[in-house]
Structure 1
Amino acid sequence: MTNVKLEWKRGDWAAYFGLMTNNLTNLLTMMGLLIFVVGIPTEIVYGRIAPAFGLAVLVASICYAWFGLQLAKETGRKDVTALPSGPSAPSIFTVTFLVLMPVYQQTGDAEFAIQIGLVWCFVEAMILVGGSFLGETIRKMIPRTVLLSCLSGLGLLLLAMNPMLQAFEAPTVSFIVLLLIFINWFGKKPMFARIPTGLLLLVAGTALAWISGLQTPEAIKASMSSFGFNPPSIHVDSFLQGLPHALPYLASAVPLGLANYIFDLENIESAHAAGDEYNTRKVMLTNGLASTLGCLMGNPFPVTVYVGHAGWKAMGASIGYTLASGVTMFIVPLFGLGAFMLAIIPMTAIVPILVFIGVVTANQVVRETPKIEVPVIFICLFPWIANWALTMVNSVMAAAGTTAAKIGPEALAHKGVFYQGLVHLGNGAPLASMLWGCVAIFAIINKPLRGAVAAVVGALLALFGVIHAPVVGFAQGSSLMFVTAYLMMGAMFVVKHVLDRREAASEVVTSV
């Protein structure tokens, strides 16, 4: 074992700006969504959620840096690169749009909405902790194509769709940012290659926003009132108060927790391929426990292994870059710099980056899915499309001062809006997407008994209103109709299994 000190290398500068910019983008996005989209009071966002959010990222970053130092000591290598730490970008949107927004819209109680979000984050963290001990078992439960396809739907519809619409509301800013993304992150020959692309996008978008008059000095002056010292504080009581009411909103935690587990595992394996062999259980436990700490301090968003280890290593990064990024993520909300940064950096400069994240998420599943399984990708998209459309339709009707019940499903259907279909397919989208992905893939690869199990699981989920229903409840509304349909599907899978066995037996007899 060799004595190794934490040293700052030239490559750490580029990696720090790249990782810090990406993480800072997620922080600004999170604060912007909570304040401007959901309507959570600024004192809660800046004074409670953001500091705890930064603390969780910092703790994970410290652990990753320690793991890097230990690996360097054990191997005697000087080229060890620490794992990058950051928030789970999909979780930011899932918690915001599937938990915090609907709860706040229904109750008008920001405290209650956050309590539910804390329980969601805790469940997500426990999936990561449990996954660290279960290892490969979780990967074998659900085909990888299904998990990636579910996440691609979330990426396109929750991450990318609304940001793309926002981008088209301010084209003089967003079009240039989008083009830089296409050139630098999708293309082969980047522009201004020496500048980290994330930083370049924020600078270009911010400059264009100020030139276009979208940002004003008055906003900066007003934002300075939020300056202050906001140390994280314990909010275990909020978590406990949310426990009895959180069940209807936990459907999204399971598939996203499993998907985060798979992506974490893939990022760790990517580090292994680059020569940095980190202990999977330790890394996964770090993510789960850091997320739990953030939850108990009032933050509903989990942390994860961030993408790009191979890229940071190619830049010559060592260990210091991930620690410096974590410290920055802690300092910004600690001193109330978030409002000031949002006054300088507009959302119109950030949203094209979210389009990129959504597209990359979807592109990954297309790139890595076997050709025969490609239809599964599109099957998994339907619940997410319905969920997004249902949210839009409900928002439009609310803005008009009416509801679907007042208008009537028949009147909506005459205008081509199949509202009941949107309600059934869109509610419980994360689990419905995964379920239908499993049904499709087991049918395609001819695993009828596993398909039957998936159908029975679908019947149980429908029976309790976890999917295809606006609220959780036993045998309520149209749930029995879906239970029957799923059981019929399971029976069909069993018939397929029987026919396959008979055909196989017949072929054996014929060959003899």
Structure 2
Amino acid sequence: MKSIKLEWKRGDWAAYFGLMTNNLTNLLTMMGLLIFVVGIPTEIVYGRIAPAFGMAVLVASVCYAWFGLQLAKETGRKDVTALPSGPSAPSIFTVTFLVLMPVYQQTGDAEFAIQIGLVWCFVEAMILVGGSFLGETIRKMIPRTVLLSCLSGLGLLLLAMNPMLQAFEAPTVSFIVLLLIFINWFGKKPIFARIPTGLLLLIAGTALAWVSGLQSPEAIKASMSSFGFNPPSIHVDSFLQGLPHALPYLASAVPLGLANYIFDLENIESAHAAGDEYNTRKVMLTNGLASTLGCLMGNPFPVTVYVGHAGWKAMGASIGYTLASGVTMFIVPLFGLGAFMLAIIPMTAIVPILVFIGVVTANQVVRETPKIEVPVIFICLFPWIANWALTMVNSVMAAAGTSAAKIGFETLAHKGVFYQGLVHLGNGAPLASMLWGCVAIFAIINKPLRGAIAAAVGALLALFGVIHAPIVGFAQGSSLMFVTAYLMMGAMFVVKHVLDRREAASEVATSV
């Protein structure tokens, strides 16, 4: 069999800058939250967490590149695109605000807070490791339309929406970058075709940002203060010390671990739909083991298959981009280069690339979905829209020093803000999106027993507060109302099944 070598293609440049920058943004967001919001000492963040974070992403990236090479070797294809690797962005916020911040505020002990976070990350990793043995089966049980529709919501609302808003804050830079994307990546006849489009976008965006005065030499000078050498090291002792005290904080780990599990399933299915058939078990094991390695080196944030495989493939990316991104994610925290890089290359030049990835991710489901199943796409979007809106509303109220409870739910409702509906629909969006996609598709294609099973699963998830509730807990708040509703839905599916059976039997009797 002909050997396959790792080659760097033109499309790898664009994919590299897009993936690396998005990962770098998550890294800087994580460091900013830990230092300026939680108050974790900089020596812990820069010297321990960030390097371990980069190491975990690098390990996953190396494995993904290897999987890509193996797939290319087995199939003889030269158009294989490796899976993208990166941090679980929701986990950055969840572990920060639900684990590290409350523990640190209660104890004033940063080391103890990190220990609890490491156990939390380990539980996340074990969910992926354990689930890897069921991943292929579950991926085949859940219709492709549902998996891709859920991913489209993730791509549009969590990946592309905020970058699009950022783009409209600096239109003199981002509009030209967006137009170049439309012409070169969506259009039939590229402009400046000899220049790799990703490089063209960065050159144009960076030049416009500096000309517009959005970047300054002072920012470059200030960023140099973060330079240093921070090699990762083993911190198994911190993990072991946190084990006996972590149980009260693990309630959020299970639903988010399940959500990350679903993310992986959706992204693997997206790669399959694009023609790159990766082994589900190997990919999930890689994520689980890479997250475990990061945990044992002092990083409380898990890694995952990053969204956007279809987008990177549409750019013409091969295998090198994900490996290069992983190497960069290791080198940047190793030498403290993140702030320096973003001081030179503005975010306004980069965020339109993320808009492209979100659009391509959503467009994939449109191409792959049979006409009768198209409504499922939009049903799956609702939980993601609610999740995004809930995050925005909560952030605005927090900035104003108030909350929905203080303002009053009825007052908000009179202004057209149905806050309780946002809470119920938006919480647990990854699982709720998939659940409602299954309910809708089994109703559409007339599989009532499978629909009844989906409704029963919904009742179980609602009972424990995994979906439709702000916190996990057994039969708390309004969860029983949702349990009842899902059971009623399941009963209706059963009635439909019985009526179908009677109708079929009647038709047989008539024909005889």
The TM-score, its normalising length taken from structure 2, stands at 0.80
Moved more, 498-507 or 484-493: 484-493
> 2:182 maps to what in 1?
182
- Structure 1 residues 132, 473: CA separation in 2 closer, same or farther (over 3 Å shift)? closer
Q: Structure 1 residue 498: deviation in Å?
A: 0.6
Per mean C-alpha deviation after superposition, the further-off stretch among 363-372 and 9-18 is 9-18
* Stretch moving more, 148-157 or 229-238: 229-238
Q: Distance in 1 between matches of 2:274 and 2:382?
A: 37
Cα distance change on mapping 1:318 and 1:365 into 2, 3 Å: closer
**Distance in 2, Cα, partners of 1:402 & 1:335:** 40
Could you tell which deviates more after superposition, 363-372 or 106-115?
106-115
User: Does the 8 A contact of 2:24 with 2:338 survive in 1?
Assistant: no
Relative to structure 1, the CA distance from residue 107 to residue 491 in structure 2 (aligned partners, 3 Å threshold; closer, same or farther) is farther
Aligned to 2:85: 85
Q: Which moved more, 1:15-24 or 1:371-380?
A: 15-24
Taking a change above 3 Å as real, the CA distance of residues 107 and 7 of structure 1, as seen in their structure-2 partners, is same
The separation in 2 between residues aligned to 1:56 and 1:449, in whole angstroms, is 42
Q: Is the 8 A contact 2:71 2:80 kept in 1?
A: yes
CA distance in 1, matches of 2:386, 2:106: 20
Equivalent pair of 2:223/2:339 in contact (CA under 8 Å): yes
With 3-12 and 231-240 compared, the bigger mean Cα shift is at 3-12
Shift of the alpha carbon at 1:116? Answer: 7.4
- Following superposition, the deviation at residue 312 of structure 1 comes to 9.0
What is the alpha-carbon distance in structure 2 between the residues aligned to residue 272 and residue 430 of structure 1? 20
Deviates more, 1:415-424 or 1:213-222: 415-424
Query: Which is worse superposed, 478-487 or 9-18?
Result: 9-18
> Which secondary structure does the structure 1 equivalent of 2:86 belong to?
strand
Q: Residues 155 and 307 of structure 2 are in contact (CA less than 8 Å); yes or no, is this contact kept in structure 1?
A: no
1:117 to 1:209, Cα distance in 2 relative to 1, 3 A: farther
Query: Which ranges of structure 1 fall in alignment gaps of 5 or more residues?
Result: none
Q: Displacement of 1:357 after TM fit?
A: 2.3
Q: Does 2:155 align with 1:155? A: yes
**Change in 2 beyond 3 A, CA 1:367/1:279:** closer
CA contact under 8 A between 1:18 and 1:199: conserved in structure 2? Answer: no
Q: Is the CA contact (8 Å cut-off) linking 1:93 and 1:159 kept in structure 2?
A: no
**In the aligned structure 2, how far is the partner of 1:445 from the partner of 1:462?**
25
Deviations 1:5-32 (A, max 9, x none): 9898999889877876676566567667
Q: CA deviation at 1:449?
A: 1.2
With structure 1 as the length reference, what TM-score do the two structures score? 0.80
* Residue aligned with 1:86, SS: strand
Instruction: State the distance in 1 between where 2:54 and 2:209 align.
Output: 27
Displacement after TM superposition at 1:224 (Å)? 0.7
Give the direction of change, closer, same or farther, for the CA distance of 1:220–1:227 in structure 2 (3 Å limit).
same
CA distance in 2, matches of 1:146, 1:418: 27
Q: Give me the whole-angstrom Cα distance separating, in 1, the residues matched to 2:423 and 2:18.
A: 41
Mean CA deviation greater in 176-185 or 373-382: 176-185
**Is residue 251–residue 431 contact of structure 1 (8 Å, CA) maintained in 2?**
no
1:273-313 Cα deviation digits (max 9, x unpaired): 99998766545433332232123334455445678989999
Shift of 1:469: 1.9
- C-alpha distance 268-210 of structure 1, shift in aligned 2 (>3 A): same
Deviations 1:41-93 (A, max 9, x none): 76655444432232123223444555677789999999998776555678778
Deviates more, 1:236-245 or 1:321-330: 236-245
Identity, % of aligned positions:
97
Q: Deviations over 1:410-436 (max 9, x none)?
A: 222222222222222222222222221
Distance 1:347 1:364 in 2: 26
Count of aligned pairs: 512
Of 408-417 and 488-497, the range deviating more from structure 2: 408-417
Instruction: Tell me the distance in 2 between the aligned counterparts of 1:36 and 1:353.
Output: 28
Note if contact 1:271-1:309 (Cα within 8 Å) is conserved in structure 2. Answer: yes
**What corresponds to 2:462 in structure 1?**
462
Q: Secondary structure at the match of 2:301?
A: coil
- Change beyond 3 A, Cα 1:152–1:42: farther
Aligned residue number for residue 483 of structure 2 = 483
Contact 2:23 2:87 (C-alpha < 8 Å) held by counterparts: yes
| Between 65-74 and 163-172, the greater mean CA deviation after superposition | 65-74
Counterpart contact for 2:151–2:263, Cα < 8 Å:
no
Q: Partner residue of 2:302? A: 302
Deviations 1:197-238 (A, max 9, x none): 333323322222211111111111111110001112345566
Evaluate the alpha carbon distance shift between residue 364 and residue 111 of structure 1 in structure 2; reply closer, same or farther with a 3 A threshold: farther
Q: How far is the alpha carbon of 1:440 from its aligned partner?
A: 1.0
User: Any idea what SS the aligned residue of 2:132 has?
Assistant: helix
Distance 1:217 1:164 in 2: 26
CA separation of 1:41/1:507 partners in 2, compared to 1, >3 Å: closer, same or farther? farther
Note if contact 1:146-1:438 (Cα within 8 Å) is conserved in structure 2.
yes
